[in-house]
Amino acid sequence: MRARVLVADTLDAAGVERLRAEPELEVEVRTGLGREALVEAIPAYDGLVVRSSTQVTAEVLEAGKRLRVVGRAGVGVDNIDVEAATRRGVLVVNAPEGNTLAAAEHTLAMLLAAARWIPQAHASLVRDHQWDRKRFMGVQLQGKVLGVVGLGRIGSEVARRARALGMRVLAYDPFIGPERAGELGVELRELEAIYPEADAFTLHTPLTEQTRHLLGAEAFARMKRGVILVNCARGGLVDEAALLAALESGQVRAAALDVFEEEPPRSSPLLEHPHVVATPHLGASTHEAQLHVALEIAEQVARALKGEPVAHAVNAPGLPPELARQLEPYVRLAQKLGELFTGWASGAGAFWPRVEVVYSGSIASRDVRPLTNALLVGLLQPVLQEAVNAVNAPVLARQRQLRVNEVREADGGGPGRITVRAGGDAPGSEGLRGGAEAAPVGGRSSGPPQVSGTVDDAGRPILVAVDGYPVHVSSTGHVLLAYNRDQPGVIGAVGTLLGQSGVNIAFMQVGRRRPGEEAVMVLGLDNPIPDPVARRLREFDELWHVVIARW
């Protein structure tokens, strides 16, 4: 069945065409759906594409039982309940780069318009037929100080352009280092230190709980009298009532606003104020930006629905596409090892809440976050009812107090190898299944459980060790793992029982350290082992810790 994508806001036609070019996708454009209509429609879709108009609330995400990805054609994801999406395992992707220049240019246009009263003068001449050359005395920007709050993509481009106009730029961004600021010719300062210095302020941070009402009455009071404020980021960053009061008192000379706390703003007194320049959220509205974000988001939504890595995941670790492609076989390996580890380690009914993953060989020096994420998926999926994926695995792990500690062993070259082993104490009452079944794995004499794997030249996962006993399992499917006494007759007895029960053995591996002692047996099976047969295997005296799993 083809995956269905709903495009719910106006998207450049090239983006829709890009999605329609995918044979696996069926695309529908239905803009202007209200809350109720969206909640009603969404259960039929696997993907949703929006801009800033559609509100993707927890209610929408809950109703979207098939939903796997939400694509935001732009930067800000404040119209998407990312937390709810993460809990539901829905990937959120955005297109953060396509409209940077458009937003930066709009910011400069707004700053110049406010400094020179351009919209007011235009209206006076064109609408009121006045030739008034006294009322619209402006201020020069050359030599003035611009305070930039948020020195990310757009803030940086604004800073560059302001410098080209001869402005001195002071920036506040607690997450940017002095080197980056130095490259841009910008001086980093605390926000309080910029208030008394800046002749104009421009905001370029996301809207978060920390940044909501970043500028309010107190901030305006500390600014230079006659300051200009530009906001082309998000309405909620400014307390609009406080801004109105500051405009009325003349503390703020002019405000240039592209964004509002409520959009569209219903009868806002700010819009009536003669010193306000306003545009209806046009920062990203250039042909070039809309083309770029539409193509960027279409590409990512298509990739996500095909199960391919994406570059701009908001709620999952993202990697550059080339690196993601290189890591893909190891992502599959990590998930398989996780599943096998859960089966093997919980053979006696316990779940190990502390796990250590050791990365060695060529992957030790890579960004291993996607691998650890895939490991979490593998560890959790066998014991949870709900679907686990790379998006919700970290949340589910936290909820269940499962901790994975990453260890990197020096990169000695050679193929990458991943070992998953139990860390900390033997499982107790904190385990996923509680304390009742939490006895340590019975009969194990080789220390805490561990499994190791690598990938071959074709990218296939290979199981190379179980509890440190070397094996080599390259084909995937049903497997039986067990400890056995290394003595004549044991393997034969297992083979006979399985044969009599109609279970065909595809391959057998035995890993042992010394003849005559304990060994680990791995059997590849063409079909699953029926429960009664598994029970009889567990009754064999020479066999213990029998686990049926998949590789």
Ligand X SMILES: O=C(O)CC[C@@H](O)C(=O)O
Residues of this chain that bind ligand X (CB under 6 A): 51-52, 74-76, 99, 281, 283-285
Q: Are 215 and 201 in contact (CB under 8 A)?
A: yes
89 binds ligand NAD (CB under 6 A): no
| DSSP bridge partners of 505 | 525
Mind telling me the catalytic residues? 234, 263, 281
Q: How far is the CB of 204 from ligand X (least distance, A)?
A: 11
235 binds ligand NAD (CB under 6 A): no
Q: Considering only the stretches 128-136, 159-167, 227-235, 400-408, report the one whose residues sit in contact with ligand NAD under the rule CB under 6 A.
A: 227-235
Q: Which residues contact 100 (CB under 8 A, 6 or more apart)?
A: 75, 153, 154, 157
Shorter beta-carbon distance to ligand NAD: residue 172 or 351: 172
Shorter beta-carbon distance to ligand NAD: residue 155 or 347: 155
User: In what helix (H) or strand (E) does residue 30 lie, and over which residues does it extend?
Assistant: none
Ramachandran assignment for 259, one of left (phi > 0), alpha (psi -120 to 50 degrees), beta (any other)? beta
The count of other CB atoms within 10 Å of the CB of residue 399 is 10
Shorter beta-carbon distance to ligand NAD: residue 59 or 97: 97
Instruction: Tell me if residue 548 falls in helix, strand or coil.
Output: strand
Shorter beta-carbon distance to ligand NAD: residue 97 or 486: 97
Q: How far is the CB of 220 from ligand NAD (least distance, A)?
A: 17
Rounded distance between C-alpha atoms, residue 25 and residue 540, angstroms: 52
Q: Contact letters (x/-) for ligand NAD, 500-519, by CB under 6 A?
A: --------------------
Q: How far is the CB of 51 from ligand X (least distance, A)?
A: 3
Binds 155, which of ligand X, ligand NAD, none (CB < 5 to 8 A, cut-off by type)? ligand NAD
Ramachandran assignment for 333, one of left (phi > 0), alpha (psi -120 to 50 degrees), beta (any other)? alpha
Helical axes 287-305 vs 13-20, angle rounded to 10°: 20
Tell me phi and psi for residue 407, to 5 degrees.
Answer: -125, 135
Binds 150, which of ligand X, ligand NAD, none (CB < 5 to 8 A, cut-off by type)? ligand NAD
Tell me phi and psi for residue 30, to 5 degrees.
Answer: -140, 90
The count of other CB atoms within 10 Å of the CB of residue 532 is 9
Q: Where are the beta strands (DSSP E) in 77-151?
A: 91-94, 145-149
Q: How far is the CB of 448 from ligand NAD (least distance, A)?
A: 41
User: In what helix (H) or strand (E) does residue 399 lie, and over which residues does it extend?
Assistant: helix 393-399
Binds 51, which of ligand X, ligand NAD, none (CB < 5 to 8 A, cut-off by type)? ligand X
69 binds ligand NAD (CB under 6 A): no
Binds 175, which of ligand NAD, ligand X, none (CB < 5 to 8 A, cut-off by type)? ligand NAD
Q: Which residues contact 414 (CB under 8 A, 6 or more apart)?
A: 361, 362
Q: Please identify which residue in the block is written with the tokens 């034969």.
A: 492
Q: How far is the CB of 259 from ligand X (least distance, A)?
A: 7
What residue type is 472 in one-letter code? H
Shorter beta-carbon distance to ligand X: residue 97 or 486: 97
Q: Which residues contact 267 (CB under 8 A, 6 or more apart)?
A: none
Single out the residue of 88, 161, 224, 234 in contact with ligand NAD (rule: CB under 6 A): 234
Dihedral angle over CA of 121, 123, 128, 132, nearest 10: 0
131 binds ligand NAD (CB under 6 A): no
Q: Contact letters (x/-) for ligand NAD, 411-450, by CB under 6 A?
A: ----------------------------------------
Q: Are 247 and 269 in contact (CB under 8 A)?
A: no
Shorter beta-carbon distance to ligand X: residue 99 or 509: 99
Q: How far is the CB of 156 from ligand X (least distance, A)?
A: 16
Single out the residue of 119, 138, 152, 495 in contact with ligand NAD (rule: CB under 6 A): 152
Q: What would the two tokens of residue 178 be?
A: 């002095």
- Residue 546 CB-half CA count within 13 A: 17
96 binds ligand NAD (CB under 6 A): yes
Q: Which parts of 266-325 interact with ligand NAD (CB under 6 A)?
A: 281, 283-284
119 binds ligand NAD (CB under 6 A): no
Name the closest residue to ligand NAD (Cβ).
Answer: 152
258 binds ligand NAD (CB under 6 A): yes
161 binds ligand NAD (CB under 6 A): no
Q: Using alpha carbons, select from 2, 23, 3, 20 the residue that is nearest to residue 68.
A: 3
Q: Considering only the stretches 147-155, 301-309, 484-492, 512-520, report the one whose residues sit in contact with ligand NAD under the rule CB under 6 A.
A: 147-155
Binds 109, which of ligand X, ligand NAD, none (CB < 5 to 8 A, cut-off by type)? none
Q: Are 234 and 52 in contact (CB under 8 A)?
A: no
176 binds ligand NAD (CB under 6 A): yes
Q: Are 229 and 238 in contact (CB under 8 A)?
A: yes
202 binds ligand NAD (CB under 6 A): no
Rounded distance between C-alpha atoms, residue 119 and residue 101, angstroms: 22
Q: How far is the CB of 535 from ligand NAD (least distance, A)?
A: 57
Q: How far is the CB of 184 from ligand X (least distance, A)?
A: 21
Single out the residue of 117, 172, 351, 352 in contact with ligand NAD (rule: CB under 6 A): 172
Q: Using alpha carbons, select from 497, 204, 146, 459 the residue that is nearest to residue 333.
A: 459
Binds 317, which of ligand X, ligand NAD, none (CB < 5 to 8 A, cut-off by type)? none
Rounded distance between C-alpha atoms, residue 509 and residue 520, angstroms: 8
The count of other CB atoms within 10 Å of the CB of residue 175 is 9
Chain positions contacting ligand NAD, by CB under 6 A: 74-76, 96, 99-100, 103, 149-155, 172-176, 204-207, 210-211, 232-234, 258-259, 281, 283-284
